[in-house]
Amino acid sequence: MKTLVFAGSTRQQSFNRRLAREAAAMAKAAGSEVTLLELAELDIPMYNADLEARGTPADVLRLKRLLWEHPAWIICSPEYNGSYTALLKNTIDWASSPVVGDPEWTDGVKPFRGKVVGILSASNGRLGGLRSQSHLAPLLLNLECWLAPRAYALAGAASAFDDQGTLTDAAHQSGVRGVVEQVLWAAKRLHGEPAV
């Protein structure tokens, strides 16, 4: 099972990037082939239909292919002003926009359809980014993703990781692992691999 893990942040000390690394390690330990995507490594501008009309950026095409090739996803969503980040929305907007004249990507939903997605979030606040999850979920459902029933919001994130970026609390580890395992379990069933 191929699993794509990414965070909706490019901040150097992002809690959600740390959480993504932890989730990726757990998925790999569970036997998945994992791609940890750093959105900062993609050269994707703010979405603009006039810009798109001049040609879809090469890294958007790369993003579409990465999303399409991975049946299982883990998204770590920061919370800004009670919702998900502009970076995450922009990434999804580009990835879901049809590429006119390209037979592979004329269907904007193709990179999303049928993907099994687990949502995690981390915040220093008491809700752990839970409101960002509640806004992100309908967006992914609209794009025909399957959402794992389990999600996990990591509160008090500033003290949740050690100096190596590892979660120190067993309850946090269990919460994240539960989402990862559920995503892998469901993706195996939906995408035809025998589940154990």
Alpha-carbon distance 49 to 183, whole Å?
Answer: 34
**Would you say 74 and 19 are in contact if contact means Cβ atoms under 8 Å apart?**
no
Which amino acid makes up residue 69?
Answer: E
Structure tokens belonging to residue 61: 């095409």
Residue 63 covered by a domain:
yes
Residue in 134, 128, 130 with CA at minimum distance from that of residue 158? 128
Chain-centroid distance, C-alpha 70: 11
| Pairwise CA distance, residues 174 & 192, whole Å | 27
195 in any annotated domain: no
The β-bridge relationship of strands 33-37 and 2-7 is parallel
Is 196 among the domain residues?
Answer: no
d(CA 1, CA 190): 11
The reported pTM is: 0.95
Q: Is residue 165 in a domain? A: yes
For the cut 90, the answer to whether the pLDDT of residue 196 exceeds it is no
Kindly list the distances between the CA atom of residue 151 and the CA atoms of 48, 65, 121, 147, 154, in Å, as whole numbers in the listed order.
32, 25, 8, 9, 10
Number of compact structural domains in the chain: 1
Domain residue limits at 115? 2-190
pLDDT digits (tens, 9 = 90+) for 65-111: 999 999 999 999 999 999 999 999 999 999 999 999 999 999 999 99
- pLDDT tens for 106-127 read 999 999 999 999 999 999 999 9
Within the chain, residue ranges assigned H as helices are 15-29, 49-53, 58-69, 86-95, 130-142, 170-190
pLDDT tens figures, 27-48: 999 999 999 999 999 999 999 9
What CATH number does residue 152 fall under? 3.40.50.360
Is 83 inside a domain boundary?
Answer: yes
